[in-house]
């Protein structure tokens, strides 16, 4: 998969393809339906299949003071979309200048002149352009009028061409009727329900980051941890989780069971929020390496302990609970 950061960079060989449009934060099962539909259409037409998303997320541009909310920052989103088999990802740089494009200009300048789209696939709730005035209905109306720009009555595109098809995907639901949505996944994670989030994502939710040096307290109580700051990731519920951690070894990722605490470590009067991961039966050096941590289940809320002995006893119980959850129980 090739990656581009501006619509003007797209080479001629990839123009004229099918494009899935959306923010795709989470790349959940609903998003995968949108992208999968685009991929099928592209293969039928024998043209390139692309995904157009935005970086940074528009919410971070318009409301930079918002608490962290992203399910899949750039690195993970790129990997997940690549795994779906598309030909290219346009992660369009988003700033206030780009946001000023009217919906009509976005269609004409970006989609038609920039990408030369033959067909678009969008979700039912997709919005675009200044003040989010653009809708799937607008795209369909534009396509139905062929080459004419409905705003200016002028031909769309540099050559007077530019008619394209549009497929709008309605709400995609699970067997229990739950709609696959990023907001629902965020709510599940913030409420300590990672298994529900996994059902909507189609996989366990992951946090990925570089392992940082901590204060060494994990070693002092017999449970060394790999420490990761969450940066712009959504902050899940504070507490202890059964996890699987992916350790990169060459070109492969080795997954290991473990237990993790996310929170502010009140026993030690800390305030910064940190993910601390203890891997079972692992004694390698992880400092400075990237670690993928999949939250499997929520074991208990974070709490303050009266002393180190009480904390150590609880960690031992947390390890046993996590092993049972992960099918790693020791006799």
Q: What is the mean pLDDT of residues 204-216?
A: 82
266-309 pLDDT per residue, tens:
666 566 788 999 999 887 778 878 899 999 999 999 888 888 88
Separation of alpha carbons 17 and 46, rounded Å? 9
Paired with 290 in beta bridges are 210
Check whether 168 has a pLDDT greater than 80. Answer: yes
| pTM confidence score | 0.87
Q: Which residues of 130-148 are buried (b: 16+ CB within 10 A; e: fewer)?
A: eeeebbbebbbebbeeeeb
Could you report the per-residue pLDDT of 43-65, keeping only the tens digit for each?
999 999 999 999 999 999 999 88
Query: Check: CATH 3.40.50.620 for 2-169?
Result: yes
- Domain 205-325 matching CATH 3.40.1350.10: the answer reads no
> Which tens digits make up the pLDDT trace of 224-239?
888 998 888 999 999 9
| pLDDT at position 3 | 97
Where does CATH 2.40.30.30 sit in the chain?
A: 205-325
pLDDT at 310: 85
pLDDT score at 271: 62
What average pLDDT does the chain have?
Answer: 88
Looking at the chain, the domain(s) classified CATH 3.40.50.620 span 2-169
């Amino acid at each position: 998969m090739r990656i581009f950061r501006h619509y003007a960079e797209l080479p001629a060989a990839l123009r004229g393809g099918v494009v899935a449009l959306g923010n795709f934060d989470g790349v959940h099962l609903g998003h995968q339906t949108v992208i999968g539909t685009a991929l099928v259409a592209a293969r039928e037409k024998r043209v390139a299949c692309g995904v157009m998303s935005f970086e940074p997320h528009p919410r971070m541009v318009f409301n930079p003071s918002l608490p962290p909310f992203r399910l899949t920052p750039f690195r993970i989103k790129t990997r997940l979309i690549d795994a779906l088999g598309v030909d290219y990802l346009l992660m369009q740089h988003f700033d206030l200048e780009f946001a000023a494009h009217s919906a009509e200009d976005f269609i004409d300048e970006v989609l038609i002149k920039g990408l030369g789209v033959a067909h678009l696939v969008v979700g039912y709730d997709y919005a675009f352009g200044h003040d989010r005035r653009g809708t799937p209905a607008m795209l369909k109306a534009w396509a139905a009028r062929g080459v004419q720009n409905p705003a200016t009555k002028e031909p769309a595109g540099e050559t007077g061409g530019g008619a394209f098809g549009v497929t709008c995907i309605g709400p995609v639901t699970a067997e229990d009727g739950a709609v696959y949505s990023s907001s629902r996944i965020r709510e599940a994670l913030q409420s300590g329900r990672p298994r529900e989030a996994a059902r909507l994502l189609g996989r366990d939710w992951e946090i990925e980051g570089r392992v940082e040096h901590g204060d060494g307290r994990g070693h002092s109580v017999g449970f060394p941890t790999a420490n990761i700051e969450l940066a712009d990731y959504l902050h899940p519920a504070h507490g202890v989780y059964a996890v699987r951690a992916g350790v990169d070894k060459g070109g492969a990722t080795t997954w290991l069971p473990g237990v993790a605490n996310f929170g502010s470590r009140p026993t030690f009067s800390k305030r910064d929020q940190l993910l601390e991961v203890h891997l079972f039966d692992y004694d390698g050096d992880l400092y400075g390496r990237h670690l993928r941590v999949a939250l499997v289940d929520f074991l208990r809320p974070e709490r303050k302990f009266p002393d180190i002995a009480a904390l150590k006893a609880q960690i031992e119980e947390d390890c046993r609970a996590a092993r049972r959850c992960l099918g790693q129980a020791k006799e």
